[in-house]
Structure 1
Amino acid sequence: MADDVQPQQEGMRTLHLRLLRIQWQVVTLQLISTIALLWMYLKMVDLYIVDSIDHALAIKYFDQQLSTANLEMPLPAWLTGEDAIGLGKFYPIMGLSVIVGGSIALLTFQSPTVQRKVRMGLLLGFILWLFGPFMFKWIVANFGKGEWWIPPDNSVESLFKGVIVVLEVMLIGIYIVPLILGVRGVWGLSKNAIAWSTGIMLLFLVLHALLTFQIVEDLLFGTSGEGLKKIPSLAGDPTILGLISPNQFNLLQLSLLLIIFQESSMGVIRYLEYAFRLPETCKKDPEYVTQFYNLLNGHLVQTIVLMTLCGITTIVALGFHTLLLSIVASLPGDGQWAYQIQESIELELTYGLVISAMLFLLILAGLRYILPWQRISGVIESLYRKRVEEIPKEEY
């Protein structure tokens, strides 16, 4: 019996993390996740934040208040985006967040000794930068005079400037913390950072939705007409594919990008965890290596195909009533009632769209008795597996 057991062979590629992290499939998934994160952030900023509660407006407000005391916000305008228009305000801080998040991710792969030295160096540098000029000017101004309890005005002013810089950085950090955590999670392989990044964005959407209720707006802003930037209650005319409006398409993009970010980033971590937990002999076995790369390739295909199908299906579901009414109106006879229903305001409100989507799902559920979806998907999957098995192992 023991003679029938064949020893495992070692292939050219292994499943060690130092090699897997630089494979093009893993890097591609990380790039897809990063692009989805940045795109999602820009879309959220465009829909809810820019020209309403963005950081540039807050910095300008504090700058006006500090001007009365002959002080100003010290960070340059090209970095804070004060002089930019629209989404241009966020491009510099987005680049800064990518650099900071990438640096933190790079630091996580260093040894504990290096991490401790870097953190202590940054902390020491921050303390010297904040209190160094203040102490130096204080000592120089009072040396030999015996008036150490009275700091000179220029030393106090330097301390105030340092504190203002810290406050300005904290203000900008409030806006870019989900990006920093997201980039750190994607490239630093941290599930907690990805969860925090997603949670902060979802929490903002929930709070924004609560604060844009008409009753809450009246309590906060009164009758001044000012308020948070919000999406119109009515869906609008279906100009995209004749099914959905631009507002609906923006929200659809936001949700799809969130799913792509979550699936791609978490997928990389799951696959690398699986490879890390394999025994050492399995990491060198060509069968395990082939299986692992099949999983990665399949995930890439699913990310593209399934997200595309999900988007198309959602578009059809949201505009299903428009499709049905257009079909009825094109039939012989009087289609006036179809046009009257199509002009109804209820179809542009949220519950009208939900009813349309539910009707689409009910029809699809009924089609399973006519079209064998499981058998069709099984045939497609078997054809794909057959094609993969025919590919030589050397290609992996």
Structure 2
Amino acid sequence: MVEKKVSENSSLEISNLRRRWKIIFLQLISTSALLALMNRMIKLYGSCSDTFVESYDGSNYWCPSYEHTRGLIWFEEQTGSLILPDAIHGLDQTGNMSLVAPLVICAILTAIWIYTLTAKESISKNIRRIVVGGMLAWGLLPFVVSWLVAISNFGIHLPWGPTNELNHMDNLWEPLLFVIELVFLGIVFAPVLSGLMGIWGLSRKLLTWTVGYYLTVIGIHAILTFEGITESVDLGLSPLPAQIGEATLLGG
């Protein structure tokens, strides 16, 4: 049998789909919708309640709202410093401008991820090895080196000794701070990153994860701001008007 050749305009291969202007146009629309959804989520779920803010009387505070700068400022006050510069966090900006730098980072990570998908297998493996190896070296190498040096000077001992010379756990503090910073950033930008990867990488799984994440945030916020919950534990979240309207009060 003679195999029929499928033209590039009719082919459903991912490499061909990425070059079609219709697909690119839909990707641009989807990206705009994703950013609009993120902005809407921040406006609805990104503020703490007025009574919670007043109780802190102008000092730094944090509540589990859908916003990243407040949590990072509070975390910096607790630890004394942040690993990433303020320009990357967006802490040197106010309003929507605080979202620009993290969004640029998400776009860069998406571009790198798509490049690894389309590049040769050897190049993709090398990129993964460099990223994983670099993170492991930065996170564990100072700890291991300081421990080995101390063993050569003071003999074999556990890394959490009673004195400063025998305690090397402080070398793991910086990687831990970095992970916590990523958590604060990820609250807002993890679904954006996965959404961008899903849109431009044509991945249905990542898009499904993004939608599921936003639905989870909405559900958790609704539970934590329910009147029965706030009477016992008030986390400072600002309830939506629909949750405390007449229908809710009357049991409708």
Query: Could you tell me which residue of structure 2 aligns to residue 47 of structure 1?
Result: 44
Output the CA distance in 2 between the equivalents of 1:190 and 1:9: 26
Instruction: Note the C-alpha offset of 1:61.
Output: 2.5
Distance (Å, rounded) in 2 between the aligned partners of 1:158 and 1:10:
58
Aligned equivalents of 2:47, 2:96: Cα separation in 1? 7
Which range moved further: 186-195 or 108-117? Answer: 108-117
Deviation per CA, 1:134-169: give whole Å up to 9, x if none.
333444x54853435367379543331222112222
Q: CA deviation at 1:179?
A: 0.9
Equivalence for 2:97: 88
Query: Which residue does 1:147 correspond to in 2?
Result: 155
Cα distance 1:87–1:146, how it changes in 2: closer, same or farther (>3 A)?
Answer: same
Asked if the contact 1:93/1:176 (under 8 Å) is kept, the reply is yes
Larger helix percent: 1
Q: Match for 1:170 among 183, 195, 204?
A: 183
Partner of 2:79: 66
Query: Is residue 110 of structure 2 the alignment partner of residue 101 of structure 1?
Result: yes
| Cα distance, 1:44–1:83 mapped onto 2, change above 3 Å | same
Query: Are 2:128 and 1:131 aligned?
Result: no
Percent of aligned pairs sharing the same letter: 25
Letter of the 1:38 partner, please give it. Answer: L
Note the 1:1-396 alignment, pairs <5 A.
14-16=9-11, 17=13, 18-50=15-47, 53=65, 54-67=67-80, 72-139=81-148, 141-142=149-150, 145-149=153-157, 152=165, 156-221=169-234, 227-233=236-242
**Could you say what secondary structure the match of 2:241 adopts?**
coil
> Matched residue of 1:126: which SS?
helix
The one-character-per-residue Cα deviations of 1:76-127 (angstroms, maximum 9, x if unpaired) are: 2222233433333333222222322332233223344443333232221111
TM-score by length of 2: 0.73
Aligned amino acid, residue 95 of structure 1:
V
Q: Which amino acid aligns with 2:113?
A: I
In structure 2, C-alpha distance between the alignment counterparts of 1:155 and 1:194, rounded to whole Å: 42
Deviations 1:173-198 (A, max 9, x none): 23321111111111111111111101
Q: Mark the CA change 1:132 to 1:106 in structure 2 (over 3 Å): closer, same or farther.
A: same
Indicate the SS of the match to 1:220: coil
Cα separation, partners in 2 of 1:82 and 1:14, compared to 1, 3 Å? closer
Shift of 1:31: 0.8
Distance in 2 between residues matched to 1:197 and 1:101, nearest whole Å: 14
For structure 2, the 5+ residue unaligned runs are: 49-62
Give the superposition deviation at 1:27.
Answer: 0.7
CA, structure 1 residues 187+217, in 2 after alignment: closer, same or farther (shift >3 Å)? same
Number of aligned positions between the proteins: 222
Q: Name the amino acid aligned to 1:42.
A: N
Letter in 1 for 2:215: L
1:268-309 deviation line (CA, Å, top 9, x unaligned): xxxxxxxxxxxxxxxxxxxxxxxxxxxxxxxxxxxxxxxxxx
Distance 2:225 2:183 in 1: 26
Contact 1:47 1:230 in 2 (8 A): no
Between stretches 178-187 and 78-87, larger displacement belongs to: 78-87
Cα shift at 1:39: 1.3
Instruction: Please give the alpha-carbon distance, in whole angstroms, between the structure 1 residues aligned to 2:109 and 2:6.
Output: 40
2:152 and 2:37 map into 1 onto residues whose CA distance is: 60
Q: Which residue of 2 aligns with 1:323?
A: none
